[in-house]
Structures are given as structure tokens and as C-alpha cells.
């Protein structure tokens, strides 16, 4: 049985292999003596409610205690360190990482950034192999090994010659998140190869068994198991090649498509030994126009460099960076459109009087986001005296604010809240 120590419940472990009660992986817990299970899925008369949900107590029959060897995974994540500490470590990391030519080409050609901007923004590449060497060099720049403790992204791995520090995450472009005092408080990675997913509709079930080599056109492929009306097949699917099945009378039966999943990920190590989660609180990214950056001292808010009475808000770090350069305004990149409460205190500290929301054009027309915008306006009305505007444009002019300004256009700004 594979277990993960629960920091919130001393003496208790999350069951990472199959729970002896419900048979599922994860979420259920077992005590130190392996005699009691708190199952989350199979009810019993003896239960209690916790922040995770209702936990049902089950007592294991000592004769039926799992015969498999018990293995405690040393997953002992620690609390995230304060921002000033994260900044110190992440700035040491910046010195040790570079930007690959593959990633520089993407930023130049697809994102239309100049080499000067790419340099001053400090984008980096999360490399594939030999990450422990980088962690080691970062430690050399700091005081000691314990400086990496509680810094999201770093964690301790057990090796043949003992434990060592290394870095989590898939390879890709790393975008730094800056606070209003220019502290680097986190990173998002735009991963090169997002995890593959199956998109399925109709009477079909499926799972990805294994990713295969790309085909001759460079498309990703995977070996998948599919179940169609009790028949199990193994098939090779190619990315974006949607399989559709209709009956003879032209009725839809099923469709299946291999797709790329999420592209942007937090650089975090909360599920790893001595790692830390990016949350509590999750970072926002404050972006200044790139010409201001060399003059922006760490620990200082930038009111002397730029007027902060109006701040623009968008989603994601790159859009904020590009928006700031195109509009010559301070921008905040939220980790998600609904995360506006994160930026209340920073905006107050900047002396902001007017907030302009600049979300993607396709996003603004969906009902959920309309609701989010309503809640956001309500939140600002209740908690601040700032006015709130919405930046709008037609989707034919570009999806995000960066696409719009790349096309040489600027948005129309209309007041939502005085
Ligand atoms: Zn269970």
C-alpha cells in the first residue's frame, strides 16, 4: 500500500494506492496502525465531516489487513516561504537558467516580441535533463540547502547516493510573476507538450494507454483503449484527427478525438518531498511597460516610474506584459478571470482609482464570464472607491488584448461602475 503522510492529521496517511474499502486511489485515509480507514466513498454509520467532505470510519479486520508491503511515500511538502524569500531564490534561479533558441524563436515569431523585450522580461526555459545541476548552482548562490525549502518548484529526490534537490515541472517557457514591489513570487510554464486528452461523445469509452512517437507530419499520437458497445479495441489516434461515427440512417453514434490539454501550468511542487504548493495566496503578475523595468527597484512600488491611478487587468502573464507595452499602462495578469479578489490590496497600495478589465473577446460573451464580471463589479463597489471599466473589441479584430494590439488596434473602453 502506498501512503502519503497527511500534514493536517498527524498519524494519518492518504492512501495513494487502492483503498481497501472502496478500491479507489487517493482521497481516503488510513491510520498509523493500519487498523482504521476513513473512506470518502463507501458510507458507514460512523462518520464525521471535515473540510474535505464526509469521512466514513471503517475498522479493518486484522486477519484481512492488506498483505502487500506498506510503503510510505516521503511526500512531505512544506509551507510556502514569504515573498521576499521566494524572490531571492527565484532571482538566483534566473541567473542559472537561459532561454533556448527554440523558445526565443517562438516569442519572436509567434508572439512578436523584440529581443530587447524578451531579455528585459527575463523569460526562461525549463530544461529537460540535468535539473539537479541547476538546483545545485542555485544553492551555491544562496546561503545553504535549506533556502530551497518551501520554494514552489524545488523538491528533494531520493537518489542512489542519497537525497538531492531538483526541480519539478514539464519543460517549456517560464514566465515570471512579479508583485507590485518587483518581487518574483512564482512562475507559470507554457509547456512544450501539453498532456494529451481524449474528447469523447456518444456511446464510447476510452483511455490513453501510451503516447507514441509523432507521425511524419509532426503530429502527436497515442495508443488508446476504446470500448464501443462492450467491444474493447486498441487503436492509435492522431492529434486533431476526429473520428466520427454515424449509423446508416445518419444518426450520430459517437465521436472521439485526441487533443492537447492545458498549456499553462504553475511551477509548483506541492505533491513532492520538501516541495511547496504555489497557493496560499496564489500569485498575480504585475507588469510595467518594458522600458520602465530596468529602473524598477526590488522592494519599491513603481508610482515614480509610471502613473498607477489607472491599472489594466487581463488574464495570464504574457498578455499582461504585451498589454503593458502596447497601451503604456501598468497591467495585472490574473491567474484566472475570477481571481480578482487577489488584487484588491495591491491596487489599493498603488493608489489606483480606475481599473480597466481587458479579458479575451470570446470570453466576455460567455454567460459564466458575464456572471464573473457582475460579481467583480459588485466586489469593487463594496470594497473600494475605484471606478471600473470594460475594454471591448470585436473578436474578428483579435482574441486577446495582445492579438488586438498586434493588429494595430486598441480597445473601446466603457465605464461599468463609477
Ligand atoms: Zn475509500
Compute the distance between CA of residue 320 and CA of residue 404 in angstroms, rounded to an integer.
13
C-alpha cell of residue 325: 507595452
Distance CA 356, CA 310 (A): 7
Alpha-carbon distance of 222 to 198, in angstroms, equals 10
Strand partners, 208: 224
| CATH for 285-417, options being 3.30.300, 3.40.1360, 2.30.30, 3.30.310 | 3.40.1360
Per-residue pLDDT of 182-229, as tens digits, reads 999 999 999 999 989 998 999 899 999 999 999 999 999 999 999 988
Give the integer Cα–Cα distance in Å for 80 and 181: 19
Ligand 1 ion local residues (Cβ < 5 A): 19, 21-22, 28, 39, 41
Average model confidence (pLDDT) for the chain?
A: 89
Strand partners, 48: 55
Q: How many CB atoms lie within 10 A of CB 393?
A: 21
Using CA atoms, how far apart are residues 28 and 321, in angstroms rounded to an integer?
Answer: 42
* pLDDT, tens only, 32-60: 888 899 988 788 889 887 655 678 899 98
Cα of 30 from ligand 1 centre, angstroms? 9
Ligand 1 centroid to residue 366 C-alpha, Å: 38
The C-alpha atoms of residue 246 and residue 178 are separated, in whole angstroms, by: 51
Q: What's the pLDDT score for residue 258?
A: 95
C-alpha grid cell, residue 130? 540535468
In the chain, CATH 3.90.980.10 covers 83-189
In sequence order, the β-bridge partners of residue 387 are 354
Over residues 116-125, mean pLDDT: 98
Q: Any idea which architecture 83-189 has in CATH? A: Alpha-Beta Complex (3.90)
Measured in residues, the chain has a length of: 418
- The whole-angstrom separation of Cα 37 and Cα 29 is 6
- List, for residues 84-103, the tens digit of each pLDDT value: 999 999 999 999 999 999 99
Is pLDDT of 68 > 60? no
Return the C-alpha cell found at 158.
531520493
Q: Of 162-166, 222-226, 284-288, 362-366, where does mean pLDDT reach its minimum?
A: 362-366
State the sign of the Cα–Cα–Cα–Cα dihedral 147, 149, 153, 159: positive
CB 418 within 8 A of CB 377: no
CATH 3.40.1360 residue ranges for the chain:
285-417
Measure the CA–CA gap between 398 and 73, rounded to whole angstroms.
48
- Ligand 1 centroid–CA 58 distance in Å is 9
Instruction: Report how far ligand 1's centroid is from the alpha carbon of 320 (Å).
Output: 43
What the block records as the C-alpha cell of 2 is: 502506498
Q: State in Å: Cα 207 to ligand 1 middle.
A: 23
Q: How far apart are the CA of 151 and the centre of ligand 1, in A? A: 32
CA of 19 to the centre of ligand 1 (A): 5
pLDDT at position 122: 98
Contact 208, 196 (CB under 8 A): yes
DSSP 12-50: EEEE-SB-TTT--BSS-EEETTS-EEEESSS--SSEEEE
Give the C-alpha separation, 385 to 404, whole Å: 30
Predicted confidence (pLDDT) at residue 169 exceeds the cutoff of 90: yes
Amino acid at each position: 500500500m502506498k501512503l502519503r503522510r497527511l500534514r493536517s492529521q498527524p498519524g494519518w496517511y492518504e492512501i495513494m494506492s487502492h483503498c481497501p474499502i472502496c478500491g479507489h486511489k487517493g482521497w481516503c485515509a488510513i491510520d498509523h496502525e493500519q487498523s482504521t480507514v476513513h473512506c470518502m466513498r463507501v458510507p458507514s454509520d460512523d462518520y464525521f465531516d471535515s473540510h474535505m467532505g464526509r469521512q466514513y470510519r471503517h475498522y479493518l479486520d486484522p486477519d484481512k489487513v492488506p498483505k502487500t508491503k506498506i510503503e510510505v511515500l516521503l511526500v512531505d511538502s512544506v509551507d510556502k516561504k514569504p515573498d521576499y524569500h521566494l524572490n531571492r531564490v527565484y532571482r538566483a534561479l534566473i541567473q542559472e537558467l537561459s532561454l533556448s533558441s527554440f523558445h526565443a524563436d517562438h516569442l519572436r515569431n509567434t508572439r512578436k516580441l523584440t529581443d530587447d523585450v524578451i531579455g528585459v522580461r527575463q523569460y526562461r526555459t525549463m530544461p529537460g535533463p540535468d535539473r539537479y545541476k541547476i538546483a545545485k548552482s542555485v544553492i551555491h548562490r544562496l546561503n545553504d540547502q535549506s533556502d530551497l525549502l518551501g520554494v514552489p518548484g524545488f523538491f528533494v529526490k531520493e537518489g542512489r547516493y542519497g537525497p538531492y534537490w531538483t526541480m519539478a515541472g514539464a519543460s517549456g517557457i517560464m514566465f515570471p510573476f512579479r508583485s507590485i514591489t518587483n518581487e518574483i513570487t512564482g512562475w507559470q510554464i507554457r509547456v512544450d507538450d501539453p498532456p494529451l486528452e481524449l474528447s469523447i461523445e456518444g456511446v464510447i469509452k476510452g483511455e490513453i494507454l501510451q503516447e507514441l512517437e509523432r507521425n511524419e507530419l509532426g503530429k502527436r499520437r497515442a495508443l488508446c483503449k476504446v470500448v464501443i458497445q462492450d467491444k474493447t479495441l486498441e487503436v492509435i489516434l492522431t492529434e486533431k484527427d476526429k473520428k466520427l461515427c454515424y449509423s446508416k440512417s445518419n444518426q450520430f453514434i459517437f465521436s472521439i478525438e485526441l487533443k492537447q490539454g492545458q498549456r499553462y501550468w504553475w511551477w509548483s511542487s506541492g505533491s513532492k518531498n520538501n516541495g511547496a504548493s504555489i497557493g496560499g495566496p496564489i500569485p498575480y503578475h504585475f507588469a510595467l511597460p518594458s522600458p520602465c523595468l530596468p529602473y524598477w527597484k526590488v522592494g519599491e512600488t513603481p508610482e515614480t516610474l509610471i502613473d498607477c491611478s489607472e491599472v489594466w487587468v487581463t488574464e495570464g502573464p504574457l498578455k499582461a506584459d504585451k498589454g503593458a507595452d502596447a497601451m503604456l499602462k501598468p497591467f495585472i495578469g490574473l491567474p484566472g478571470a475570477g481571481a480578482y479578489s487577489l488584487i484588491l490590496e495591491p491596487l489599493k497600495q498603488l493608489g489606483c482609482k480606475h481599473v480597466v478589465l481587458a479579458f479575451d473577446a470570446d470570453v466576455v460573451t460567455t454567460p459564466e464570464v458575464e456572471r464573473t464580471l457582475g460579481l467583480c463589479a459588485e466586489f469593487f463597489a463594496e470594497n473600494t472607491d475605484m471606478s471600473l471599466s470594460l475594454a471591448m473589441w470585436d473578436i474578428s479584430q483579435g482574441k486577446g488584448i495582445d492579438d488586438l494590439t498586434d493588429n494595430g488596434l486598441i480597445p473601446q473602453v466603457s465605464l461599468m461602475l463609477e
